[in-house]
């Protein structure tokens, strides 16, 4: 018997009797009989809980996990420290076994968390409004471009080549191939977007300009200069940021971004081999009614008590159907809960400390690596927690050697940038220690 199905044979008989049929097969009478399966599906047979645990532990041990390996890999997914309370609280099953809060009186707890999430994100980004989450960083950015097009109906999108290559690929799928807009990429110089090239391409046809900060290479874009160019012809300024960096760096609201999105994984979410992550979406108030996704608002109950509910649902697919602002239904609520707990734990000072530790430690590694003969930083622009290094030999060989020594090396840039041969993108978060960094240096041949 399956432990999740409560009916005893007696129960089943009783239920069938009450329904007024002899066998369950009678309930299938509306299914064309030739469609009823007569052969097995071919799935393996069932496992007991003990057997399952044993087999899955074995499989998990075939992965090199970052409790046992030291990682210098980032590139859009970050090994930040997750305070214990984040796992403990988000794993309360009253949170994770609930559904989207369609009945607000039954879900005040989760609705309040989403309201706190929206508030925290607005504080962090200095933007007017935030929704209650989207899938992850790339789709959040795609939704931003869609909003821009729905707002100004312009046909061209300018994309910096310093945006995460997988985000650019996803944008091509949604924006170019599906929506039919044209995308032009702006090249980079010294690791950041080439502003002269941007200025040449900007025109009244441009719906939006999309950038990332810190960008995929880890370097900081010249955001205020860029803003002047982007807004020259009324295009929308869209930026995808690293939320951890906002503990230290200028927030999107202050450089007049119209829409700011982010991959929120770093805010208390595990690496999980790439998902589920957290799509953060914020914008100026004027775009509110064009915003995708769930939004929670404050209201009162009949006795005048404060309460929370989903609001502006007339933007959404279940009400507006084909006229909805987006097709999103299920989002990443539990990841947003984790981000809320994370940001509340670190608070005003903690996030800044995390950001400073990343900054100091990555600069320490960069300095040490530059001293090893043959290794040299490719760019000189200011960076936050990642930087690109040209290596004297194949980066794949280097990473192989590191892996043998229980270190996950940097990201091999030529995978996405053929012009950046023999290059590695190193990431240093607050979790890396002096000792671990020095071990990496010595394996690379330095001291």
Partner 1 sequence: MREPLIFEISKKGRKGYSLPECDVDKKNLKEMIPEEYLRQESPDLPQVTEPDLVRHFTRLSQKNLGIDTNFYPLGSCTMKYNPKVNEEIAHLSGFRKIHPYQPEESVQGTLKILYEIEKFLCQISGMDKVSLSPAAGAHGELTSMMMIKAYYKERKEERNVVLVPDSSHGTNSASSNFCGFQVIQIKSNKEGEIDLNDLAAKINKKVAALMITIPNTLGLFERNILKIVKVIHNEGSFLYLDGANLNALLGIVKPSDLGVDIMHFNLHKTFSTPHGGGGPGSGPIGAREKLAPYLPIPLIGKGKESYYFNYDRPKSIGKVRSFYGNIEVIIKAYCYLRSLGEEGLKEVSYNAILNANYLMKKLKKYFSLPYKGPCMHEFVLSGEDKEAKGIRTLDIAKRLLDYGFHPPTIYFPLIVKEALMIEPTETESKETLDAFILAMSQIKKEIKENPSLVKSAPCNLSISRLNEVKAARELKLRWKKNGD
Of residues 287 through 326, those in contact with partner 1 by CB under 8 A are 288, 294-303, 305-309, 311-312, 314, 316-324, 326
Q: By rule CB under 8 A, what count of residues binds partner 1?
A: 207
Of residues 369 through 428, those in contact with partner 1 by CB under 8 A are 382, 384, 399-400, 403, 408, 411
Q: What are phi and psi of 207, to 5 degrees?
A: -70, -50
When the beta carbons of 26 and 204 are compared against partner 1, the nearer one is 26
Of residues 36 through 65, those in contact with partner 1 by CB under 8 A are 36-37, 40-47, 49, 52-53, 55-65
Inter-CA distances, 241 with 16, 118, 256, 444, Å: 58, 16, 14, 31
Q: Using CB under 8 A, which of the segments 193-201, 226-234, 387-395, 429-437 binds partner 1?
A: 429-437
The pair of structure tokens assigned to 243 is: 């939320």
| Contacting residue, 215, 331, 422, 423, with partner 1 by CB under 8 A | 331
Task: Give the burial string for 369-402 (b: 16+ CB within 10 Å, else e).
Answer: beebeebebbbebbbbbbbbbbbeeebeebbeeb
In whole angstroms, the minimum distance from the beta carbon of 40 to partner 1 comes to: 6
**151 forms part of the interface with partner 1 (CB under 8 A):** no
When the beta carbons of 201 and 396 are compared against partner 1, the nearer one is 396
Kindly write out the interface string for residues 181-210 of this chain, putting x where it contacts partner 1 by CB under 8 A and - elsewhere: ------------------------------
Cβ pair 238, 230 in contact under 8 A = no
The verdict on whether omega for the bond into residue 276 sits within 30 degrees of 0, i.e. cis, is yes
CA–CA distance, 77 with 126 (Å, rounded to integer): 23
**446 forms part of the interface with partner 1 (CB under 8 A):** no
Q: What are phi and psi of 302, to 5 degrees?
A: -65, -20
Of residues 223 through 282, those in contact with partner 1 by CB under 8 A are 223-224, 246-251, 254, 263, 270-277
Of residues 101 through 120, those in contact with partner 1 by CB under 8 A are 101-110, 112-113, 115-116, 118-120
Kindly write out the interface string for residues 350-379 of this chain, putting x where it contacts partner 1 by CB under 8 A and - elsewhere: xxxxx-xx-xxx-xx---------------
CA–CA distance, 184 with 171 (Å, rounded to integer): 11
Cβ pair 378, 191 in contact under 8 A = yes
């Amino acid at each position: 018997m399956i432990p999740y199905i409560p009916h005893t044979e007696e129960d089943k008989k009783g239920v069938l009797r009450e329904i007024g049929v002899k066998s369950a097969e009678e309930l299938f009478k509306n299914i064309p009989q030739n469609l009823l399966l007569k052969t097995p599906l071919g799935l393996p047979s069932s496992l007991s809980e003990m057997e399952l645990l044993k087999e899955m532990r074995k499989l998990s041990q075939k992965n090199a996990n970052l409790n046992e390996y030291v990682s210098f890999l980032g590139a859009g997914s970050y090994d930040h420290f997750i305070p214990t309370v984040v796992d403990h609280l988000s794993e309360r099953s009253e949170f994770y076994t609930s559904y989207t809060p369609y009945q607000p009186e039954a879900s005040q707890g989760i609705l309040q968390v989403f309201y706190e999430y929206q508030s925290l994100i607005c504080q962090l980004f200095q933007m007017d409004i935030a929704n209650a989450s989207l899938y992850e960083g790339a789709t959040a950015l795609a939704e931003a471009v869609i909003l821009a097009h729905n707002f100004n109906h312009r046909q061209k999108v300018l994309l910096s080549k310093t945006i995460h290559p997988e985000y650019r690929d996803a944008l091509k799928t949604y924006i170019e191939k599906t929506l039919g807009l044209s995308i032009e990429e702006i090249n980079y110089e010294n690791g950041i977007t080439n502003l002269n090239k941007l200025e040449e391409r900007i025109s009244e046809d441009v719906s939006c300009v999309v950038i990332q900060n810190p960008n995929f290479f880890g370097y900081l874009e010249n955001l205020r200069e860029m803003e002047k160019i982007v807004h020259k012809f009324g295009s929308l300024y869209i930026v995808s940021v690293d939320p951890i960096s906002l503990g230290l760096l200028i927030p999107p609201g202050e450089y007049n971004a119209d829409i700011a999105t982010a991959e929120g994984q770093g805010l208390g979410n595990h690496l999980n081999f790439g998902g589920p992550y957290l799509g953060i979406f914020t914008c100026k108030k004027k775009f509110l009614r064009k915003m995708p996704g769930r939004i929670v608002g404050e209201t009162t109950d009949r006795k005048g008590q404060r309460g929370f509910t989903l609001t502006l649902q007339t933007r959404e697919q279940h009400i507006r159907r084909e006229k909805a602002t987006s097709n999103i239904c299920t989002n990443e609520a539990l990841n947003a809960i984790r981000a809320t707990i994370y940001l509340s734990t670190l608070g005003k000072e903690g996030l800044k400390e995390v950001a400073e530790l990343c900054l100091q430690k990555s600069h320490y590694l960069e300095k040490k690596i530059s001293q090893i003969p043959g290794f040299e930083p490719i760019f000189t622009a200011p960076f936050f927690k990642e930087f690109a290094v040209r290596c004297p030999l194949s980066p794949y060989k280097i990473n192989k050697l590191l892996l043998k020594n229980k270190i996950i090396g940097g990201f091999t840039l030529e995978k996405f940038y053929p012009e950046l041969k023999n290059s590695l993108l190193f990431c240093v978060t607050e979790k890396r220690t002096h000792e671990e960094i020095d071990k990496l240096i010595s394996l690379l041949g330095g001291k």
